[in-house]
Amino acid sequence: MSGKHCVLFAGQSVQEAGMGVELLKRPAARAVVERLKPSLGADLEALLTTTPDDTLALTFNAQRAIHASHVAHWLAYAAANPRIVLDGAVGHSMGVVAALVAAEALSVEDSGVFIAARARAFSDCCKSFSEPMGLAAVSADDFQDVVDSVSEAPGVSVALWNTVGRGTLGGTAAALEAYARKARDEDWPVKVKLLKVEGPYHTAAFEGAKAPLRAALAAIAVKAPKIPVYMGTSGRAETDPARIGELLVEQTTACERHLDAVRAAYAAGSRSFIEVSFKPQPVTWLKEQVEGVSALGVTTDQLPL
């Protein structure tokens, strides 16, 4: 494939039992997974093939499996399409680490070291909560209305802003349930769905993850990316290695502004977006975020055997 593209990578929640069964039949993808096993664990292949959904959904397992899937899919696709040229990379939440690999700011091995630390740090935070906490997916005509409503919802904060009309709120389970009840009782024009996750990612509840991530970054090399990486933490293009490192740490507690990141890529000239995954997701949101773009989702079965 020729032409310029901005590559997309999804965040946590896209995991699915058996997500890597077909992927590992591709030699180029298997080679990447083998490179990640020393950092992501000897159970990595099992996570990608035989681990049931309930176990795979655990933070420590999901982040490791998703990252391996992202990097293996992309590098196998790039190897099969040497003429492809990228003009940017966008990673949604933890997907930004795979975006940094695509931009050659992180090696495969160093990306695994960081994701292993991130998965462990996030998991440890979840285990430390004194009461149930989580996330709620909320949709409306304009998500700004949801953001405004949060000021009247104690214990709730905006965790992710995905598209014009969709995002995620985080907080205690009780506070999220109260928000959903208030929206229903007052007939707000929104839809609220409580998610089955271990914690409210991208909120202040994950402050404890910052120190382990700083330690992990001190042990790896973040280089200047060869293409802009659009990070949700800032909502704009990032090219400075030191700032990228700072944002990887801040991401733990900062609202993930995926919508702003995609708009920044568009403003910089990106018109063709591509996602390579067992089940492409963020590429399907593009019509809700920007107009006049082409969106290509490439699935595992489109990779050469």
Average pLDDT of 54-83?
Answer: 97
4 pLDDT tier (thresholds 50, 70, 90): confident
pTM of the model: 0.95
pLDDT in tens, 33-57: 999 999 999 999 999 999 999 999 9
Rg (CA), the chain: 18
The Cβ of residue 27 has, within 10 Å, a number of other Cβ atoms equal to: 11
CB 275 within 8 A of CB 297: yes
Average pLDDT of 93-99?
Answer: 97
pLDDT at 194: 93
- Answer whether residue 127 shows pLDDT above 90: yes
Strands across the sheet containing 236-238: 236-238, 229-231, 85-91, 4-9, 272-276, 294-298
DSSP labels, 72-95: HHHHHHHHH-TT-EEEEEEE-TTH
Mean pLDDT of the chain: 95
pLDDT in tens, 172-201: 999 999 999 999 999 999 999 999 899 999
Instruction: Give the pair of three-digit tokens for residue 301.
Output: 């079965």
Domains, in order of start, for the chain = 4-128+204-302 (3.40.366.10), 133-194 (3.30.70.250)
Instruction: Give the pair of three-digit tokens for residue 53.
Output: 């959904």
289 pLDDT tier (thresholds 50, 70, 90): confident
- ∠ at Cα 29 (28, 32), nearest 5°? 95
Compute φ and ψ for 270, nearest 5 degrees.
-70, 130
